[in-house]
Amino acid sequence: MAKPYFPGNVPGIKTALAIDSKQAAKIIKRANRRIVITGSKLEEVEEAIKLADGALVVAPHTLPQFREKGAAVVAMNKVNITNLLRDASQWKGLDGKGSYDLAVYMGSPYYFESQMLSCLKHFSSCKTMSISRFYQPNATYSFDNMNEDKWREALGDLVKFMEE
């Protein structure tokens, strides 16, 4: 069983399933509509673009990095997008084609991402995945705790498996 990066972050009996890159790719591919939500700490712009399937929400101050790469993105803070995902019956997505069934979070401070995932865990039907460096028990699926090198390798493998 994976352990939260912050030992005090024990959200009850329902915790994330710890997954590896290959499992994450299968789950992402299986999703009907996915959205990738990036945070203020994101450095892996290329990987985020490759994982997104048209729905990519970025932290406002990272917008220029994505525009340089020619990516079509929406700049919005994580609280707003999380609240929209929470109300899946009313919100029809960024493109108006329906709600999302998988939200992939990456590049946020641990404590902040934990709260966003907790909100969706308790108040939304949307499944969540954290592909950040540390295990997020409030997600539906999460990478386990990893050192920086292993995490970069896992993220690269995830992108590779998505292209297969």
CATH topology of domain 17-163: Rossmann fold (3.40.50)
- Give residue 88's pLDDT: 74
List of the chain residues with pLDDT < 70: 1, 3-11
- Give residue 60's pLDDT: 92
- Give residue 7's pLDDT: 63
- Give residue 9's pLDDT: 62
In terms of C-beta density within 10 A (0-12 exposed, 13-18 middle, 19 or more buried), how is residue 164 classed? exposed
- Give residue 10's pLDDT: 63
Q: How far apart are CA 126 and CA 129, in angstroms?
A: 10
Q: How far apart are CA 98 and CA 90, in angstroms?
A: 9
Cα distances (Å, whole numbers) of residue 11 to 118, 125, 146? 8, 18, 21
- Give residue 81's pLDDT: 95
Residues contacting residue 164 through CB under 8 Å, at least 6 positions apart: 25
pLDDT tens, 36-52? 999 999 999 999 999 99
- Give residue 29's pLDDT: 96
Strands 56-58 and 34-38: parallel
